[in-house]
């Protein structure tokens, strides 16, 4: 039987192994499912952050002295606790984020997979050694950085913290997590489970809050590295501020993913993939399809997409968007596109769900005759909305994709290997799908986009995270005094 785990009613920070209130002001946390207040989150201060950093500095000595194998055992236990509490964790994501319970379960399952990758670090991180001169060896070891921070967005309250926290911990760092103030509950649950897994006090902390804490993380002299996931506007601010303090930083931003659809694409598979990509998690995924570039004659596929979209029922198999403001922003994009001459084929505006009238719902929306100059074609909408831009040929379609400033993902739907290869080579994005609408690379492959979708050199997950969360130590060793003298002696 699963242990009954209740979400904390009063949100605290988690510092030095204890749940601690902040003396700061609190902000109401609303469930987007029905608009009800479910908690109050503290907007913590720099003093709260500093307390966590000082505890982490103290804990780091013992934590970094353990072997990789020892540290991975904590994450192994934590992974089993995620599995044990899968239902409650999914319910929490559903309640604070608004995605469907099935999507919430998939999110928690992804977190479990991320932990499994972190547990495999002892098998992956092997050091290099070579006899470079007779009797002299050079070796390279990966060493932890110290105290590091992870800043998360609202759209994956359980998964995004698990993108960074398990890897950074197993690799020997102490981690400060700053969740989105809109969805703080899942992160505190993560803290509870890491504590139950026996993690030493101070090794992991959660500091709630908003801008003040993010800026504090960038400025704090004892934080060595910062990972950020969120909008491009804030990703740029964080990257510039953190690196100006000579910190290592990877900052993932927003997206505008283009799916190029050719007339030879498999109609049913393409239609269901494109619609699932644009509407999954109510379109609030950085991997969501935002623009379909239809090459030549693809009306038969668009017709099927409309049929697929009509199968989505808000409040049932389509979740809510995060807030009233998000709903208004998304509907504003649709209104503006329609005024500019686009044709709304499936209209999700003014959606109200019975018995959840206070919730924030937008129905699936498909808009045809969008042109590249319209605002809806250029900016991130972050809702269950897809714009269709028509292209006369593949070259024009790729030019349209290349012209967008983001570069998280792009995909092509075709049965032609040659066409697929052309898009794989020429699309300006970090993650490419061939007949895959949400081309998220799974572990051990790393996650990360290009252009305005990511700032910094490393990716955030998979093998790339090893480079980000560690530094290399190069040692030259000579023990044999009889070894022949040469230039390396
Ligand atoms: P956001 O940028 O508003 O917030 C992200 C984090 O930054 C939060 O913790 C928030 O408290 C903090 N923040 C917000 N404004 C700030 C400011 N002015 N100064 C300092 N910190 C600030 O993003 P969001 O709305 O929570 O998340 C949605 C965005 O995240 C979308 O743009 C989405 O594409 C993006 N996202 C990207 C990826 C990716 O992998 N590239 C993954 C998930 C989400």
Longest CA span, the chain:
86
Catalytic residue, candidates 218, 286, 306, 458? 286
Residues in a beta bridge with 391: 295
Write out pLDDT tens, residues 399-423: 999 999 999 999 999 999 999 999 9
The whole-number average pLDDT for the span 212-227 is 98
Q: How far is the CA of 159 from the centre of ligand 1 (A)?
A: 14
State the pLDDT at residue 10: 75
| 142 Cβ inside 6 Å of ligand 1 | no
| 286 Cβ inside 6 Å of ligand 1 | yes
| 382 Cβ inside 6 Å of ligand 1 | yes
Q: From CA 44, how far away is CA 227, in angstroms rounded? A: 19
Contact 5, 92 (CB under 8 A): no
Q: From CA 240, how far away is CA 301, in angstroms rounded? A: 43
Contact 257, 289 (CB under 8 A): yes
State the pLDDT at residue 486: 64
| 431 Cβ inside 6 Å of ligand 1 | no
Contact 105, 90 (CB under 8 A): yes
Domains of the chain: 9-253+453-473 (3.40.605.10), 257-434 (3.40.309.10)
State the pLDDT at residue 485: 62
Q: From CA 439, how far away is CA 422, in angstroms rounded? A: 17
Q: Which of the residue ranges 131-145, 218-232, 297-311, 401-415 would you say has the lowest mean pLDDT?
A: 131-145
Tokens standing for residue 264: 């030879």
Counting atoms of ligand 1 from 1, which one is nearest the CA of 460? Answer: 40
At 108, which helix (H) or strand (E)? helix 101-119
Query: Is the predicted pLDDT of residue 8 greater than 70, yes or no?
Result: no
Pairing mode, strands 225-229 and 248-252: parallel
Q: What's the whole-model pTM score?
A: 0.96
| 451 Cβ inside 6 Å of ligand 1 | no
Q: How far is the CA of 231 from the centre of ligand 1 (A)?
A: 4
- Is 286 noted as a catalytic residue in this protein? yes
Write out pLDDT tens, residues 386-396: 999 999 999 99
Query: Is the predicted pLDDT of residue 455 greater than 80, yes or no?
Result: yes
Q: What percent of the chain has pLDDT over 70?
A: 97
| 210 Cβ inside 6 Å of ligand 1 | yes
Write out pLDDT tens, residues 177-212: 999 999 999 999 999 999 999 999 999 999 999 999
Contact 82, 89 (CB under 8 A): yes
Which residue of 179, 231, 253 sits with most ligand 1 atoms within 8 Å of its CB, as the best mutation to test the pocket? 231
* 2 band by pLDDT with thresholds 50, 70 and 90: very low
Pairing mode, strands 174-178 and 204-206: parallel
Tokens standing for residue 383: 């809702």
Q: How far is the CA of 469 from the centre of ligand 1 (A)?
A: 21
Query: Is the predicted pLDDT of residue 256 greater than 50, yes or no?
Result: yes
Contact 71, 122 (CB under 8 A): no
Contact 290, 386 (CB under 8 A): yes
Q: What percent of the chain has pLDDT over 90?
A: 93
| 42 Cβ inside 6 Å of ligand 1 | no
| 380 Cβ inside 6 Å of ligand 1 | yes
Q: From CA 204, how far away is CA 389, in angstroms rounded? A: 46
Residues in a beta bridge with 139: 129, 475
State the pLDDT at residue 5: 44
Burial code (b: 16+ CB inside 10 Å, e: under 16) for 162-191 equals bbbbbbbbbbbbbbbbbbbbbbbbbbbbbb
Pairing mode, strands 365-368 and 431-434: unpaired
State the pLDDT at residue 487: 62
Write out pLDDT tens, residues 103-162: 999 999 999 999 999 999 999 998 899 998 888 899 999 999 999 999 999 999 999 999
Q: How far is the CA of 228 from the centre of ligand 1 (A)?
A: 8
Contact 239, 249 (CB under 8 A): yes
Q: How far is the CA of 6 from the centre of ligand 1 (A)?
A: 27
Which residue of 234, 256, 283 sits with most ligand 1 atoms within 8 Å of its CB, as the best mutation to test the pocket? 234
Radius of gyration of the chain (CA): 24
Q: Please give the mean pLDDT across all residues of the chain.
A: 96
Q: How far is the CA of 234 from the centre of ligand 1 (A)?
A: 6
Contact 370, 291 (CB under 8 A): yes
| 227 Cβ inside 6 Å of ligand 1 | no
- Provide the CA 108 distance to its chain's centre, in angstroms: 13
Contact 167, 117 (CB under 8 A): yes
Query: Is the predicted pLDDT of residue 438 greater than 90, yes or no?
Result: yes
Counting atoms of ligand 1 from 1, which one is nearest the CA of 151? Answer: 9
Query: Is the predicted pLDDT of residue 7 greater than 80, yes or no?
Result: no
State the pLDDT at residue 126: 86
State the pLDDT at residue 1: 37
Task: Using DSSP, state whether 346 is helix, strand or coil.
Answer: strand
Q: Which of the residue ranges 1-15, 241-255, 356-370 would you say has the lowest mean pLDDT?
A: 1-15
Q: From CA 239, how far away is CA 120, in angstroms rounded? A: 29
CA 60 → CA 64, 119, 146, 364, distances in Å? 6, 19, 7, 48
State the pLDDT at residue 469: 98
Helical H segments across 347-389, by residue range: 375-378
| 446 Cβ inside 6 Å of ligand 1 | no
CA 4 → CA 9, 86, 191, 285, 297, distances in Å? 15, 11, 16, 30, 55
Q: How far is the CA of 287 from the centre of ligand 1 (A)?
A: 14
Query: Is the predicted pLDDT of residue 6 greater than 80, yes or no?
Result: no
């Amino acid at each position: 039987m699963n242990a009954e785990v209740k979400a904390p009613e009063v949100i605290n920070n988690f510092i030095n192994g204890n749940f601690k209130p902040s003396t700061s002001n609190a902000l109401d946390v609303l469930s987007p499912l029905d608009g009800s207040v479910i908690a109050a989150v503290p907007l913590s201060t720099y003093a709260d952050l500093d307390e966590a950093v000082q505890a982490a500095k103290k804990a780091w000595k013992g934590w970094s002295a353990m072997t990789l194998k020892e540290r991975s055992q904590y994450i192994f236990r934590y992974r089993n606790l995620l599995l044990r509490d899968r239902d409650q964790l999914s319910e929490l994501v559903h309640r604070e984020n608004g995605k469907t319970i099935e999507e919430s379960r998939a999110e928690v399952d992804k977190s479990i997979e991320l932990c499994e990758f972190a547990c495999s670090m002892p098998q992956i991180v092997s050091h290099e050694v070579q006899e470079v001169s007779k009797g002299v060896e050079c070796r390279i070891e990966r060493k932890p950085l110290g105290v590091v921070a992870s800043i998360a967005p609202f759209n994956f309250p359980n998964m995004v913290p698990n993108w960074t926290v398990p890897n950074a911990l197993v690799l020997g760092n102490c981690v400060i997590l700053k969740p989105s103030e809109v969805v703080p509950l899942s992160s505190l649950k993560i803290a509870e489970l890491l504590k139950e897994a026996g993690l030493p006090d101070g090794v992991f902390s959660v500091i709630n809050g908003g801008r003040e804490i993010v800026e504090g993380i960038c400025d704090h002299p004892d934080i060595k590295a910062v990972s950020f996931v969120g909008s491009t506007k804030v990703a740029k601010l964080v990257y510039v501020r953190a690196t100006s303090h000579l910190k290592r930083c990877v900052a993932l931003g927003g997206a505008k993913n283009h799916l190029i659809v050719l007339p030879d694409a498999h109609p049913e598979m393409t239609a269901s993939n494109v619609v699932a990509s644009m509407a999954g998690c109510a379109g609030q995924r950085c991997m969501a399809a935002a623009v379909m570039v239809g090459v030549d004659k693809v009306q038969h596929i668009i017709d099927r997409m409309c049929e697929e979209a009509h199968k989505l029922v808000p409040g049932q198999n389509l979740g809510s968007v995060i807030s009233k403001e998000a709903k208004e922003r998304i509907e504003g994009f649709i209104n503006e596109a329609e005024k500019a001459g686009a044709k709304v084929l499936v209209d999700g505006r003014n959606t109200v769900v019975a018995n959840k009238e206070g919730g924030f719902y937008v129905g699936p929306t498909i808009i045809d005759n969008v042109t590249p100059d319209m605002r809806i074609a250029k900016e991130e909408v972050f809702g269950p909305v897809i714009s269709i831009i028509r292209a006369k040929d593949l070259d024009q379609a790729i030019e349209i994709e290349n012209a967008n400033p983001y570069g998280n993902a792009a995909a092509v739907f075709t049965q032609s290997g040659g066409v697929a290869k052309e898009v794989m080579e020429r699309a300006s994005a970090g993650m490419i799908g061939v007949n895959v609408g949400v081309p998220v690379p799974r572990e051990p492959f790393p996650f990360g986009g290009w252009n305005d979708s990511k700032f910094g050199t490393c990716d955030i997950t998979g093998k790339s995270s090893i480079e980000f969360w560690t530094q290399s130590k190069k040692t030259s060793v000579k023990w044999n005094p009889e070894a022949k003298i040469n230039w390396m002696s």
